[in-house]
Structures are given as C-alpha cells and as structure tokens.
Structure 1
Amino acid sequence: MKIYRIANRRHAKNITGAGASFYPGRWNNIGTPVLYTGESIEIALLEILVHIPALLVPELDVLILEIPENSIKEIKINDLPSNWNQFPAPTILSEVGQQWVENNQSLAMKVPSSIIESAFIFVLNCDHKRYSEVKIIDHHKFSFDSRLRKS
C-alpha cells in the first residue's frame, strides 16, 4: 500500500521517527518514535501546513512509502471521543497511540485526519518488528505554490 509524507528537505529521508519522538503529537508521547504519513499527498500536505508558520516556506520533499497492507489497525471516528479533532488534542489520543506502540499491535495505525475527517493518516510504529518492510519507493522535491501561504 502506498502512503505519503511531506517533510522538510533536510530530514525527509529520515524515517526513523526521531523527529516525532522529540515532540508530543496527537497520537504519540515524547520519546515515542512514530512516523506520520497520509493516505494521499494532499492530506500529507495539509497535515504539515498546519504546523508551519504563515510566512515560512521551507524546502519540502515528498516521500512515497510502501507498507504491507496486512499490518494496519484502523481506528474509526465512532470509536473516538467527540472532541478528538480539537487543538490541542485531547490526551486520551496520545494514550491510545502510546498503548498501540507499547503493545506492538501493528506496524501502522489508520486514523481520521483532524483536518478533514473523511481523510486518513497513517501513524507508523518505528519500533515495530515489521518496520524494516517500510520502503521508500519515490523521493522528490515538492513544488510549493506560494498562494497556499498568504499572510
């Protein structure tokens, strides 16, 4: 299965989850190496844009990754608390993610995007025994349209 990641060019090829382990995320605690990806390049872009200051346009790259389809746990919207898509994220979500990582339940966790509920992101457990099966199948420069970042 193909999934997408857009990242700062300096760190794009680093898929160890080290970056996420330094910062708490919606689905992870500090110290937990996970990789956030999207089901499409569009949702991957939106997921990174919400974290970039308005006037900053970093050099970004696109990674297309391939993961095995038989190691994905899906969390449906109906299984989440009503405030799941709020910012900042409710701590229950990082607790769910932490438990998922610690129990080694699957390589990937498919969850709804907090930006567009009908779209999905995939959180990859970088410590999972099958993480070596994650392959970078394409890596290229992302051409950023400056109209996306009007002040």
Structure 2
Amino acid sequence: MLVYRIATNEFVHDLSGYGAKLNGGRWNREGVAVLYTGSSIALCAWEYWVHLPDTVTLKQNAFSVATIQIPDHSVLKIAPKLSAQLQGQDNSRLHALTDDWIERNEHLVMQVPSAIIEQESNYLINPAHPLFTEAVLESVNPFSFDKRAFGKVLLK
C-alpha cells in the first residue's frame, strides 16, 4: 500500500520519526518516535495546512512529497469513531493507544482516523519495528501549496 508525507525538502528523506519524537503530536507523546503519513497527497496537504500558524510565508519550491510503500500485512486498524478524542485538546487516550501499539510491537503501521477529514486515514509508522526495512521510500517529488489556499477565511 502507498502512503504519503509532505515535508520541507530538508526533512522529506528523514523517515526516523525524529520530528514527532521531538515535539509530540496528536497520536504520540514527546519522546516517542513515529512517522506520520496519510492515505493521499491531498490529505497530507490539509494536515500540513491546518497546523500552520495564522501568519506564515511559505517559500515556493520548499516542499516535497514522499511516496512510501508499506506492507499491507502489518497494519493495525484503529476504530474510526474516536471523534470526541480527536477534536479534544487532551490527547492522553490517543497517546496511550500509540504507546500500547509500540510496546506490543506486533504491527509496523497503525491506521488511524484523520481529525481533519474523518472519512480519511492517517498511517503511523513505527521506525523501531523490525519490519521497518519493508517501508520503502518509493519516490520524492516537488510539492507546492497553491497560493489561492492562503489568505482566505474558510470558516469563522
């Protein structure tokens, strides 16, 4: 199965999960390395976009999209109906799910519902899992955000 990741050119080849480990995220607490990927390039763009600060200048040609092949046989699927947890500010339950997944070490990938588009999925990859070598960086291509998406108020 193919998953995608948008990152700055500087970090797009880094599949270590170091950024998530350093900062923590919705699904992982600080200190836990996971690689966040999405089911589509469009979902990844939305996920990146919603986490940008209110005022930001994005340089043209500063981003790339990585296409990563992951094995279908090692994906743990988390129930898509976690909307209360996904929308809340307290991610402790989600962190506990991720900690348990990593501790059990049974699956390379955990499929989780997107908080941005609930019908879509994100895929967390455990870089410390023995099957991590089966997660193959297929390609890296330039990616640009359309400037029409910025400076518009979608919802108030």
The corresponding residue for 1:84 is 85
SS at match of 2:73: coil
The corresponding residue for 1:51 is 51
Q: Unaligned regions of 5+ residues in structure 2, if any?
A: none
Once residues 14 and 105 of structure 1 are traced to their aligned partners in structure 2, the CA distance between those partners, rounded to angstroms, is 23
1:79-128 CA-partner distances (Å, limit 9, x unpaired): x3x51221524310011111111111200000110011000000001111
1:42-99 CA-partner distances (Å, limit 9, x unpaired): 1111111111224231521100000000000001124x3x512215243100111111
Once residues 51 and 9 of structure 1 are traced to their aligned partners in structure 2, the CA distance between those partners, rounded to angstroms, is 18
Once residues 50 and 30 of structure 1 are traced to their aligned partners in structure 2, the CA distance between those partners, rounded to angstroms, is 20
The corresponding residue for 2:98 is 97
The corresponding residue for 2:67 is 64
Amino acid at match of 2:68: L
TM superposition shift of 1:143: 2.1
Amino acid at match of 2:78: I
Q: TM-score w.r.t. structure 2 length?
A: 0.90
Amino acid at match of 1:61: S
Once residues 136 and 50 of structure 1 are traced to their aligned partners in structure 2, the CA distance between those partners, rounded to angstroms, is 25
Q: Unaligned regions of 5+ residues in structure 1, if any?
A: none
Check whether the contact 1:21–1:31 (CA below 8 A) recurs between aligned residues.
Answer: yes
The corresponding residue for 2:25 is 25
Check whether the contact 1:35–1:123 (CA below 8 A) recurs between aligned residues.
Answer: yes
Check whether the contact 1:83–1:90 (CA below 8 A) recurs between aligned residues.
Answer: no
Runs of 4+ displaced beyond 3 Å? none
Once residues 57 and 33 of structure 1 are traced to their aligned partners in structure 2, the CA distance between those partners, rounded to angstroms, is 26
The corresponding residue for 1:4 is 4
Aligned length: 149
SS at match of 1:83: helix
Amino acid at match of 1:66: Q
Check whether the contact 1:84–1:114 (CA below 8 A) recurs between aligned residues.
Answer: no
Percent identity between the two aligned chains: 35
Once residues 144 and 70 of structure 1 are traced to their aligned partners in structure 2, the CA distance between those partners, rounded to angstroms, is 33
The corresponding residue for 2:36 is 36
Q: TM-score w.r.t. structure 1 length?
A: 0.92
Check whether the contact 2:27–2:91 (CA below 8 A) recurs between aligned residues.
Answer: no
